[in-house]
């Protein structure tokens, strides 16, 4: 599957949800769905899911979606146990699995062909876990996964998409993005 195709599908299903994204997923997501409720965790490799957990616990009435990368998740695998123990019903955790530390030069992640992120999340205690490698199957299940009480974990087996946005670090680290996020939260 192509990441941009998966993200376009999600963008149609997440018109006003808080979406926490990191690194390559973040830059692609910001291009596909520019929105003040995009929370970008670039510069905090491995912590997107931890940030999403904090938001989910603080705002149980809001759906929180995290767009993680496989390399980022490897930096903080313990977050899976923490999320499962907290059991936020409003948290959906997507992992873009492309087998590389894409943001750091595309170096391969360890344990290729062996590592099963959905299996790790299931064993950690996530309520729902699924893995997809075909867009039609993901499209058929996406709405149900987003509606089910979480925590939910979805592993997306991906290749790079056609959207190759240049990283806009000025935007994601700038005061304007933080201010827009805070105002959007206040306006629920």
Query: Judging by beta carbons within 10 Å of its beta carbon (0-12, 13-18, 19+), is residue 8 exposed, middle or buried?
Result: middle
For the chain, the domain total comes to 1
Q: Name the percent of the chain lying above pLDDT 70.
A: 86
pTM of structure: 0.89
Domain encompassing residue 23 = 3-186
In tens, the pLDDT along 55-98 reads 999 999 999 999 998 888 988 999 999 999 999 999 999 998 88
Task: Kindly state the tokens that stand for 86.
Answer: 């907290």
**SS3 of 168, please?**
coil
The pLDDT value recorded for residue 165 is 63
Residue 173: CATH number of its domain: 3.40.50.970
Integer Cα distance of 12 and 149 in angstroms: 20
The position carrying tokens 């039609």 is: 136
């Amino acid at each position: 599957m192509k990441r941009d195709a998966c993200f376009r599908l999600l963008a149609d299903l997440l018109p006003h949800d808080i979406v926490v994204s990191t690194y390559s997923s973040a830059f692609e997501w910001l291009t596909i769905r520019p929105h003040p409720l995009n929370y970008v965790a670039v510069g905090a490799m491995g912590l997107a899911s931890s940030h999403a957990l904090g938001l989910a616990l603080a705002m149980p009435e809001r759906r929180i979606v995290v767009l993680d990368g496989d390399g980022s998740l490897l930096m903080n695998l313990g977050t899976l146990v923490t999320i499962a123990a907290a059991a936020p019903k409003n948290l959906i955790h997507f992992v873009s699995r492309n087998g590389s530390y894409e943001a750091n030069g595309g170096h391969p992640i360890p344990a290729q062909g062996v590592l099963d992120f959905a299996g790790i999340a299931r064993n950690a205690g996530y309520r729902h876990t699924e893995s997809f490698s075909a867009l039609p199957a993901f499209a058929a299940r996406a709405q149900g996964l987003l509606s089910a009480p979480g925590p939910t974990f979805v592993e997306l087996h991906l290749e790079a998409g056609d959207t190759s946005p240049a990283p806009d670090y000025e935007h994601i680290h700038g005061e304007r993005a933080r201010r827009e996020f805070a105002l959007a939260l206040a306006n629920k």
